[in-house]
Amino acid sequence: MAAVGALLALLAVAAYHNTFGIPFVFDDVPSIVENRSIRSLWPLSAVLFPDQAGGITTSGRPVVNLSLALNHAWGGERVAGYHAVNLALHLAAGLCLFGLVRRTLLLPRLAPRWGRDATWLAAGAAALWLLHPLQTAAVTYVVQRAEVIAGCLFLLTLYASLRGSDPATGGRWRALAVGACLLGMASKEVMVSAPLVVLLFDRLFLSPSLGAALRGRPGFYAGLAATWLVLVVLVLGTGGRGGTAGFGSGVSPWEYGLTQCRAVFIYLARVGWPHGLVFDYGLSLDRRLAEVWPQALGVVGLVAAVGWGLRRWSTWAVGGVVLLALLAPTTSFIPIATQTMAEHRLYLPLAVGAVAAVVGLHALVGPRRAAGAVGAVALALGLTTIARNEVYRTEVSLWTDAAAHLPGNARAHNNLGQALFRAGRVPDAIRSYRQALALQPKYPESHYNLGVALAHLGQTEPAIEHYETALRLQPDYPEAMNNLANTLGRSGRTNEALRLYEAALARRPDFAEAHNNLGNALLQAGRLDEARARFERALQLRPGHAETLYNLGNALAAGGDMTGALARFEAALRADPRYAAAQVNAGNALLELRRPLEALARYEAAVAADPGLADAHFNRGSVLLDLGRWSEAVPAFEAVRRLAPGKTAALRALAYALAQAGRATEAVDRYQEYLVLRPDDTEARTELQRLREAAAPVRLPR
């Protein structure tokens, strides 16, 4: 058995070896990067039952949130650790599947037919399941470890219940099964069918009837049933996952059910031929039976066939019931508004297909040919998985692939636009947003994102129009309020901006960015105490955030507290050592504190971090002038002249430095250039006159 386990581990690592540098994408961001509840392991209650919006992947799933918190404690936001844990969990699930299939085939009812080949059949099924590229949607996509954890615990529940069937020695195994089922209910709602699947398994392989199965282990089944209470409490606690799931999600059960008829056959096709996998299917719904009547008829036929077979308790029929039970929580008439279809939902149901494929091949072509075929298929699946993982290499490649496979998916085009924007490809991002809006004109998020991109290019009025459109379509949209306020503030409409920041925070009090931006607006309005309060609140929500520390430093400096300001600038630099603006302002504070040499070091660090920052060059030159280091000051002011030609103070300082450095001819030229721009500067005109007189030749008497 150890050799089989080692082989399965080797295969899994080979298939996923190229995932450890894949970045966080899509729902990873709110559930990991922005999830404050995973940043500390204590108090444990705050990790298990955080105050989260109900719509994110970790909401109402304490085991998943705890696993992410452990990851964060281990390595912060370094992605390699999260991928390593996902792979380890996937392998653990595969080993549970191996053990379950092997022991099932060795049961007295099956051993005469399958017992001799039980080990390799179980290993083959586990290998196909581990290596199938469909699994990347749950394993490579970090936050979908919810699916992996639930799948692992589901399989462990089945395995432990099988081991616990011996009344004399199975007590610990039965306890393990109930414990695994309990943890599974706290991981994902798909676990709801686990007690029923255990009972079906018991009836098919261990007991002559359902009644006998229940009477044989009444305490065990009572324990399994009790775990449903945990799931009920968690589901109710999230309010239908923040209104994104259930009958109050805004999606019609009829339309969702029709869409699932199509989804079932797409899923079956992906299992048999995993080509053209899609990361995100968007929010499309089939609204009329006429659109999907063949698939609906097929689903009805499938359910009828399974029901007919179940009357005879045939093995294939029970397998069909298990498959339907695993799909039912997400692929039925109970709506999930945020994802009408998703390939990660096949994570556990795929186990039924893997077992059926291996056992079916054995029955059709015999053990030797079946072993060769399973090995060849496993190799092909593993290579396809490696290739599929490369699609996840960047956000741009992932969303480009999703949009290419479903060109009518507005969300894919929108998210591709976001990925392109973050990659600095703003014009390409704008094209993607416009494509999303062409497909779905009333798409608030695309209007908002297009506004962000246009504002980035300085197109203020079009940006404002798209922000306002987003808010008309979705009035409760704090991000749009925040960015519209930013744009209005830059346009001088400060009072409107202040009202929008307040409105955004009324809807989302923990919106750290809005607190920070409101603080900046208040600072510009001279309301220093209010600004400091906003910055401090933002830091409570995002401790150690460099930009907010910098802004708080500016507020303290504006109030004359240079020591406090310097401490905040230094904290910002600890968070981001290459924060050039913080280096400059730290230097300014040091100058006010009469520490010019330290200030000079800050300005030089700012120039090293950002050679294009004109203020850093200017302040450096000014300190060098004060220190009498004329020649060193000259190149600093020349850099400002090149970077900010309109900064006349730098041109005057350059002329003065050149004069003091003994470069009179150049100094005269710079003074003349300066006086063209500032003819009213009589002091500079006097200095120029002195230079000319000093340079005039001495006239000898005749």
Residue 472 forms part of a structural domain: no
- Can you give the pLDDT at residue 700? 42
How many alpha carbons fall within 13 Å on the CB side of residue 345? 26
Give the count of beta carbons closer than 10 Å to the beta carbon of residue 2: 6
The residues, any chain, with a CB within 8 Å of residue 214's CB and separated by 6 or more, are: 199, 221
- Which two tokens mark 389? 């993982």
- Can you give the pLDDT at residue 53? 56
Q: Please report the sign of the dihedral spanned by the C-alpha atoms of residue 266, residue 268, residue 272, residue 277.
A: positive
Task: Report angle CA 267, 268, 269 to the nearest 5 degrees.
Answer: 90
Residue 339 forms part of a structural domain: yes
Distance CA 551, CA 592 (A): 18
Q: What is the overall mean pLDDT for the chain?
A: 91
Q: For the residues 410-416, what does the mean pLDDT come to?
A: 97
Q: Which of 65-74, 93-102, 280-289, 647-656 has the lowest mean pLDDT?
A: 280-289
Residue 497 forms part of a structural domain: no
The answer, yes or no, to whether residue 193 has pLDDT greater than 60, is yes
Distance CA 637, CA 495 (A): 38
CATH number for the domain harbouring residue 649:
1.25.40.10
Percent of the chain with pLDDT over 70: 96
- Can you give the pLDDT at residue 576? 95
pLDDT digits (tens, 9 = 90+) for 520-549: 999 999 999 999 999 999 999 989 999 999
- Among 406, 390, 392, which residue's Cα sits nearest to residue 340? 406
The answer, yes or no, to whether residue 101 has pLDDT greater than 70, is yes
DSSP letters, 451-520, are: HHHHHHTT-HHHHHHHHHHHHHH-SS-HHHHHHHHHHHHHTT-HHHHHHHHHHHHHH-TT-HHHHHHHHH
Distance CA 322, CA 315 (A): 11
3-class DSSP state of 314: coil
- Can you give the pLDDT at residue 249? 58
The residues, any chain, with a CB within 8 Å of residue 557's CB and separated by 6 or more, are: 565, 585, 588, 589, 592
Residue positions counted in the chain:
702
- Can you give the pLDDT at residue 219? 94
- pLDDT interval class at 308 (50, 70, 90): confident
Which of 342, 373, 388 marks a domain boundary?
388
Which residue has better confidence, 515 or 238?
Answer: 515
Residue 413 forms part of a structural domain: no
Residue 625 forms part of a structural domain: yes
Which residue type does 172 have?
Answer: R
Answer yes or no: are the C-beta atoms of 284 and 410 closer than 8 Å. no
Residue 574 forms part of a structural domain: no
Phi-psi category of residue 26: left, alpha or beta, with phi > 0 → left and psi -120 to 50 → alpha: left
pLDDT digits (tens, 9 = 90+) for 205-249: 888 888 999 998 999 999 999 999 999 999 888 776 555 666 565
How many separate domains does the chain show? 2
- Can you give the pLDDT at residue 317? 74
Residue 191 forms part of a structural domain: yes
Residue 636 forms part of a structural domain: yes
Which of 388, 416, 440 marks a domain boundary?
388
Q: For the residues 64-75, what does the mean pLDDT come to?
A: 95
Q: How far is CA 444 from the centre of its chain?
A: 20
Place of tokens 């290419």: 404
- Can you give the pLDDT at residue 382? 97
Which residue type does 593 have?
Answer: L
Answer yes or no: are the C-beta atoms of 604 and 596 closer than 8 Å. no
In b/e form, how buried is each residue of 275-303, taking b as 16+ CB within 10 angstroms? eebbbbbbbbbbeeeeebeebbeebeebe
pLDDT digits (tens, 9 = 90+) for 1-38: 789 999 999 999 999 999 999 999 999 999 999 898 99
Distance CA 108, CA 97 (A): 19
Continuous segment of H or E residues that includes residue 48: helix 44-48
CA dihedral 572, 577, 579, 581 (to 10 degrees): 80
Distance CA 423, CA 28 (A): 18
Q: Which of 6-20, 50-64, 605-619 has the lowest mean pLDDT?
A: 50-64
- Among 61, 15, 661, which residue's Cα sits nearest to residue 382? 15
Q: For the residues 590-610, what does the mean pLDDT come to?
A: 96
- pLDDT interval class at 286 (50, 70, 90): confident
- Which two tokens mark 480? 């749009």
The answer, yes or no, to whether residue 695 has pLDDT greater than 70, is no
Distance CA 525, CA 533 (A): 14
For the whole model, what pTM was predicted?
0.86
The answer, yes or no, to whether residue 701 has pLDDT greater than 60, is no
The neighbouring-strand residues paired with 245 are 336
The answer, yes or no, to whether residue 440 has pLDDT greater than 80, is yes
- Can you give the pLDDT at residue 259? 86
Residue 646 domain boundaries: 613-697
Please provide residue 336's backbone torsions phi and psi, each rounded to the nearest 5 degrees: -125, 105
- Can you give the pLDDT at residue 702? 44
- Among 577, 571, 576, which residue's Cα sits nearest to residue 552? 571
Distance CA 538, CA 181 (A): 40
Which of 365, 388, 411 marks a domain boundary?
388
3-class DSSP state of 336: strand
Q: Which of 161-170, 390-399, 691-700 has the lowest mean pLDDT?
A: 691-700
- Which two tokens mark 230? 């945990």
The answer, yes or no, to whether residue 292 has pLDDT greater than 90, is no
